Structure 1
Amino acid sequence: MARKRARVAATVMVGVLVLFIGSLAFNAASSATRWPGPLDLVRRYPWITLLALLPLAFFAMWPGRPDDDASKQHDQGPTELQRERRETQAFQLPARNPRFTGRNRELGQLRRRLTDPRAHTVQAIHGMAGVGKTELAVEYAYRYLHEYKLVGVLDAERGALIPVQFQTLAAELGRPDVAPQRAADVVYGLLAEKLPWLLIFDNAERPADVVGFLPTGSAAENGHVIVTTRRGGWASRGGTMSVDVFSRQESIALLTDRIPDMTARTSDRIGDVLGDLPLAVSQAAAYLDYSNTPPEAYLELISTKLDAMLELGLAHGAQHVVSTLWTVARNRLIDEQPTIQLLELCSVLAPEPIPLDLFIGRVALLKEPLRGTVSDPILWVNAVGRLADLSLIRREGSQIVEHRLTQSAVRAAMPLHVRNQNEQLALRLLTAHLPQDIESDPEVGTLWAQLLPHVLTVTQTGPSAETAADVGQLLQLAARYFRQLGNLTAALPLAERAVAIHQAQCGLDHPSVGDDLNTLARIVRDLGDAVGALPLATRALTIHIAAHGINHPWVANDLITLSQIHLTMGNHISALWLAYRASIIHEAMCGPEHPWVGNDLNILARILRESGNPREALETAERSLFIHEATYGRDHPYVGIDLTILAGIHHDLGHTTEALSMAERALTLDERTYGADHVWIVNDLTILAQLHRELGDARQAATLARRALDVLSSSGGPYDRQVASAKFLLQTLAACGQENA
Structure 2
Amino acid sequence: MSEARTPVRSTGKGAARQTVTISFAGFNRPWAAWIGDRLERRGLRVVYLRWDAPPDESLAGLLRDLTLAEGRTLILVSEWYFQLGPRTHEEWNTALREVVAPDPARFAAVSVTNTTVPSATAALAPVDLTNMGADEAERRLLDRLDVPLDTPVSADVTRPAPRFPASMPDVWGGVPRRNTRFTGREPLLNDAYHLLQGSEPGAGVLTLHGMSGVGKTQLAAEYAYRFGSEYDVVWWVSSEKRVTYRRLLAELAPKLALSTGPEYGERLRAVRDALRRGDPHSRWLLILDGADEPEQIWDLVPTGPGHVIITSRNPEWGEHNSKLLEVPVYARDESVAFIRRRAPRLSEADADQLADALEDLPLLLDQTAGWLNDSDLSVDDYIALLEGGIDQDVVKVSADFPLAFQTAWSILLNKLRETVPESVDLLRLCTFFAPGFIPVRLLKEMSHDDLPEQIAGLLDDPLLWNKAINQLRQYSVVRLESHETALDEAASSGESVYLHRMVHQIVHKDMPEQDRREFIEVVRRALAEADPGRPTDTRNWDTYAEIVPHLKYADVLQSKDRKVQALVLNCLRYMLFAGEYTAGVKLGARALRAWRRLLGASHPRVWELTYHYANLMRSAGRFQETEAIDRAAMEQLREDRGEHDLDHLRMAGGLAADLRELAQYEAALELDQWLYPTYRDLFGEQDSRTLNALNNLGYTMRLLGRYEEARSIDLKTLEARRLLLKGRHPWTLFSEVSYAIDMRLLGRYSEADSAQTKNVHEHHRVMGRDHQSTLRAEHNLALCKLRGGDRATAGELLTHVLEGYERKLGDTHVHTLAAAVSQSCFAREHGDIDQAREASESIIARYELLLPEGHPFLIGARANHALILRSVGEREHAHVLIEEALTGMAAALGEHHPHTLGCAINASALRNLVAEPESAAELSRVTTIRATETLGRTHPLTLSARVAHAADLRALRDRQQAEKVEQEALSDLAATLGPQHVHTISARSRNRPYWDFEPQAN
Please identify the structure whose Cα radius of gyration is greater: 1
Select the residue among 438, 456, 462 that pairs with 1:371: 456
Q: What RMSD, in angstroms, separates the aligned Cα atoms of the two structures?
A: 5.7
CA distance in 1, matches of 2:816, 2:312: 43
Q: Deviations over 1:323-344 (max 9, x none)?
A: 4756747635745444443343
- Structure 1 pair 413/361, CA: closer, same or farther in 2 (3 Å)? closer
Report the Cα offset of residue 597 of structure 1: 4.3
Q: Does 1:278 align with 2:218?
A: yes
- Structure 1 pair 469/504, CA: closer, same or farther in 2 (3 Å)? farther
Native 8 Å contact 2:737 2:777 kept in 1: yes
2:502 matched residue in structure 1 = 408
Amino acid at match of 1:526: S
- Structure 1 pair 670/195, CA: closer, same or farther in 2 (3 Å)? closer
Native 8 Å contact 1:472 1:498 kept in 2: no
Amino acid at match of 1:502: W
Q: Deviations over 1:384-404 (max 9, x none)?
A: 677678874236447723224
Report the Cα offset of residue 565 of structure 1: 2.0
Select the residue among 643, 647, 652 that pairs with 1:559: 652
- Structure 1 pair 625/316, CA: closer, same or farther in 2 (3 Å)? farther
2:577 matched residue in structure 1 = 484
Report the Cα offset of residue 640 of structure 1: 5.2
Q: Does 1:316 align with 2:330?
A: no
Native 8 Å contact 1:341 1:370 kept in 2: yes
Amino acid at match of 1:617: D
Report the Cα offset of residue 589 of structure 1: 6.6
Amino acid at match of 1:254: L
Structure having the higher helix fraction is 1
Native 8 Å contact 2:208 2:312 kept in 1: no
3-state DSSP of counterpart to 1:394: coil
Native 8 Å contact 2:420 2:471 kept in 1: no
3-state DSSP of counterpart to 2:425: helix
Native 8 Å contact 1:469 1:505 kept in 2: no
Select the residue among 785, 788, 806 that pairs with 1:692: 785
CA distance in 2, matches of 1:266, 1:478: 34
Select the residue among 736, 741, 760 that pairs with 1:663: 760
Select the residue among 531, 534, 549 that pairs with 1:434: 531
Amino acid at match of 1:708: V
Amino acid at match of 2:819: A
Answer with 345-354 or 418-427: which moved more: 418-427
Native 8 Å contact 1:427 1:470 kept in 2: no
Amino acid at match of 1:618: L
CA distance in 2, matches of 1:193, 1:266: 42
CA distance in 1, matches of 2:755, 2:504: 62
CA distance in 2, matches of 1:388, 1:737: 65
CA distance in 2, matches of 1:513, 1:276: 43
CA distance in 1, matches of 2:755, 2:181: 54
Amino acid at match of 2:754: T
- Structure 1 pair 244/583, CA: closer, same or farther in 2 (3 Å)? farther
CA distance in 2, matches of 1:469, 1:324: 45
Native 8 Å contact 2:623 2:662 kept in 1: yes
Q: Deviations over 1:118-173 (max 9, x none)?
A: xxxxxxxxxxxxxxxxxx98634247999976769xxxxxxxxxxxxxxxxxxxxx
Q: Deviations over 1:59-103 (max 9, x none)?
A: xxxx9999xxxxxxxxxxxxxxxxxx9xxxxxxxxxxxx9x8545
Native 8 Å contact 2:656 2:668 kept in 1: yes
1:124 matched residue in structure 2 = none
- Structure 1 pair 502/266, CA: closer, same or farther in 2 (3 Å)? farther
3-state DSSP of counterpart to 1:696: coil
Amino acid at match of 2:363: V
Select the residue among 299, 303, 310 that pairs with 2:313: 299
1:141 matched residue in structure 2 = 82
CA distance in 1, matches of 2:683, 2:438: 40
Q: Does 1:452 align with 2:548?
A: yes
3-state DSSP of counterpart to 1:363: coil
CA distance in 2, matches of 1:527, 1:389: 46
- Structure 1 pair 513/536, CA: closer, same or farther in 2 (3 Å)? same
Q: Deviations over 1:570-589 (max 9, x none)?
A: 44554355346555666677
- Structure 1 pair 478/269, CA: closer, same or farther in 2 (3 Å)? farther
Q: Deviations over 1:679-716 (max 9, x none)?
A: 66542342122123234332232233233333455566
Amino acid at match of 1:299: R
CA distance in 1, matches of 2:682, 2:539: 26
Amino acid at match of 1:345: L
Identity %: 16
TM-score (norm 1): 0.55
Matches within 5 A, 1:470-481: 477-481=570-574
CA distance in 1, matches of 2:366, 2:316: 18
Q: Does 1:344 align with 2:432?
A: no
1:394 matched residue in structure 2 = 481
Q: Deviations over 1:41-69 (max 9, x none)?
A: xxxxxxxxxxxxxxxxxxxxxx9999xxx
3-state DSSP of counterpart to 2:495: strand
- Structure 1 pair 142/543, CA: closer, same or farther in 2 (3 Å)? same
CA distance in 2, matches of 1:547, 1:102: 71
Q: Deviations over 1:189-239 (max 9, x none)?
A: xx9997969xxxxxxxxxxxxxxxxxxxxxxxxxxxxxxxxxxxxxxxxxx
Q: Does 1:499 align with 2:606?
A: no
- Long gaps (5+) in structure 2: 15-22, 35-76, 94-116, 124-175, 223-309, 318-326, 340-354, 356-361, 372-411, 483-488, 834-981, 983-1002
- Structure 1 pair 258/689, CA: closer, same or farther in 2 (3 Å)? closer
Native 8 Å contact 1:434 1:447 kept in 2: yes
Native 8 Å contact 2:367 2:475 kept in 1: no
Answer with 550-559 or 571-580: which moved more: 571-580
Q: Deviations over 1:435-483 (max 9, x none)?
A: 45434x4443232123233336556xxx896689999876665443232
CA distance in 1, matches of 2:194, 2:824: 54
Amino acid at match of 2:507: A
Matches within 5 A, 1:54-65: none
Q: Does 1:244 align with 2:178?
A: yes
CA distance in 2, matches of 1:145, 1:336: 33
1:158 matched residue in structure 2 = none
Answer with 475-484 or 551-560: which moved more: 475-484
Native 8 Å contact 2:443 2:526 kept in 1: yes
Amino acid at match of 1:409: V
Report the Cα offset of residue 497 of structure 1: 2.8
2:867 matched residue in structure 1 = none
CA distance in 1, matches of 2:540, 2:694: 24
Amino acid at match of 2:542: T
TM-score (norm 2): 0.42
Native 8 Å contact 2:209 2:314 kept in 1: no
Q: Deviations over 1:637-656 (max 9, x none)?
A: 55554454344345455332
3-state DSSP of counterpart to 1:403: strand
Native 8 Å contact 2:210 2:328 kept in 1: no
- Structure 1 pair 297/688, CA: closer, same or farther in 2 (3 Å)? closer
Native 8 Å contact 2:416 2:424 kept in 1: no
